[in-house]
Structure formats: structure tokens, C-alpha cells
Amino acid sequence: MRNQIIFHYDGSIAADHKISLRTLSVTLHHLQSAIDRSYIDLAYGGVRKHARLRSLDYPLTDFIVGVPAEGGYILDLLNTGAHAIVDRIYTAVSRAYRVATDEALPVTQSLVEQATTRRDHLFARAQQPIDRDQLRQNYAADRQGVRYADRSITKEIDQVLTQLRLDRYQDSTLELSLVGQRANPRLQFDSQLAQTFHRVVSTKSLGNPVRLEIRVRAMDRGKGKNMVGKGTHIDTGKDFTLHFRSPEDFNTLARFMRAGADQPIVRIIAVPVIEYGTFDAEAGDMFFLALDE
């Protein structure tokens, strides 16, 4: 089976048909990560948060680097393994690409604003929290056709595009050819499209309230913004990140922080942080709303 990735930089990013070590290292690192995400999805039936290759997987995900060609800077990567890795990458990326090229993106509220609205609805009893089992059912099969694996793969390609978003490379372009068993169209990015693509894949929203039983592992106040905590789900033992609306909400949970075996079980109500239309129901980030009293 043929798996070939060809990337073609042009413009000031590829002056004299050469690119910088920084551009090359960012490109290759995140292309390899996209390859790894794709393989894990194909071989193991899905990608979970923090999933990693096993030792026996590495030879199957190795792509041979060709000789750079002129006409800008062109480099091809080739793998002849049995898994349709490149077609899987294209399937994940093409949806975001179509949205970025064809649609006007909506203006979204900040997560804090969304959390405040969810909390107001909760306290007004306009919405009842669901339990963890219902949460798993809601995200077992993505309702919008976007799976967690798609998000995981697409975020790596978004990182490749960071070079086009730099001011010094505003005139530059990247043409990405993902040559698999299908005739996949080339993906062509300029600086503006790279910006729009980033908005598509990084847009976050909040889901519906969920009842959780957790232990509080860590709390980080930061500098008053981006306050986060680490919790552990009682039912699975899996860790996840908690975000907070305000210092008051942070303090509400911080008092349950204990060391060692004295960590109490805390019942809370939180909402899932949904990114690019999907959520990892086992270990995805949550936004704290209130104690479940």
C-alpha cells in the first residue's frame, strides 16, 4: 500500500529553494505526530487522550525522507506499509479545510461567558445535569461526524501551519499532497487560510452539565487567570483537567485538596470542554460549575 506525503513550501519561507531548520523541524515533527495519530486510530480502533505508539508500531509508521527538490522547497515522505495512514490523515483534515475555505466562521463567546450561562441555567433549574454514563453515550459516536481521532490528527497539521502564520512569512504558501489509495486533492494554504484553519480546529465550546464524582489531585491558581485543577474520576481512575470561571469557584474546590490517602470523594457539576466538535468522555477537560449538594 502506498502512503506518500509531499509538502511544497514557496515564497520567502523557501528563499533560494531552501528552508530554515526551524521550519523543517516543526514540519517533520508534526507530520510524524499526525502519522502516529492516524496509525493508532486505524490499528486500535480509536485515539484516546495521551495515546502513544507501542514499540512494535514504530517500524510500521516510519516514512522514508526523499531528496529535496527545487521549485520552492519540495520534500516527499514515503511508507509502503499495509495501513492506509495517509488516506486517514486526509479524511481528518479535509473537513476542516472545506470549512475554512467555504464558510464564514461564527463569532463565539469565551468559555467563561459560556460557563456563566450554563451555571445560571443550572441554578434556575432550566437544565438538569446528566450522569457519566449518559455523557459516554452522547460522545460514543460523534453526532456531527467528527471523532476524537479527527481532532487529534488535524491539530498536528494545524501546528505545521504555524510557520505560515508568522509575520515574516506572510507571502508564503504550503501545498500538501496526501497520496494514498484514493486520488486525494492537494491542500493549498496561504497565510490567511492558515489563520482560518486554526480558528476552525481550535474553536471550543461547552456541553451540557454532568454530575461527577472525583478526587482533587492538584490546583494551580496561576496569576488569577487560566486557573486549573487536576481531578481523578472515581469510576475509572483516569485523570482530567478542570477549568474555573472565577477565584471563588477555584476556592470552592481547592478546600478539598488533600495529600496522600486522605483525599475525599467530591461530587461536582461540570460541563465538558468540546473542541472541534468532539470530546473525550473518559479524560477530556471539564469546566467546573458548582458542588453537587
pTM above 0.85, yes or no: no
Q: State how far the Cα of 189 lies from the Cα of 87, in Å rounded to an integer.
A: 19
Q: What is the CATH number of the domain that holds 243?
A: 2.40.50
What pLDDT does residue 141 have? Answer: 55
- Shared-domain flag, residues 88 and 23: yes
Q: Is the pLDDT of residue 140 over 80?
A: no
Q: State how far the Cα of 13 lies from the Cα of 191, in Å rounded to an integer.
A: 11
- Kindly report the average pLDDT of the chain as a whole number: 90
- Shared-domain flag, residues 23 and 123: no
Q: What percent of the chain has pLDDT over 90?
A: 73
pLDDT digits (tens, 9 = 90+) for 243-257: 999 999 999 999 998
- Shared-domain flag, residues 101 and 125: no
Cell matching residue 142: 460523534
Q: What are the distances in angstroms from CA 111 to CA 69, 94, 273, 274?
A: 45, 27, 8, 10
What pLDDT does residue 240 have? Answer: 96
Mean pLDDT of all residues in 42-47: 86
- Shared-domain flag, residues 15 and 133: no
Length of the chain in residues, anyone?
293
What pLDDT does residue 144 have? Answer: 47
Nearest 5°: phi and psi at 227? -70, 130
Decide if 208 contacts 41 (C-beta within 8 A): no
Range of the domain at 211: 111-140+205-291
Window from 30-44, 213-227, 262-276 with minimum mean pLDDT: 213-227
Mean pLDDT of all residues in 14-39: 96
Question: How far does Cα 42 stand from its chain's mean position?
Answer: 18
Mean pLDDT of all residues in 173-193: 94
What pLDDT does residue 103 have? Answer: 65
Q: Is the pLDDT of residue 107 over 70?
A: no
Number of domains in the chain: 2
- Shared-domain flag, residues 98 and 218: no
- Shared-domain flag, residues 88 and 46: yes
Q: State how far the Cα of 118 lies from the Cα of 193, in Å rounded to an integer.
A: 33
Pairing of the two strands 73-79 and 3-10: antiparallel
- Shared-domain flag, residues 101 and 158: yes
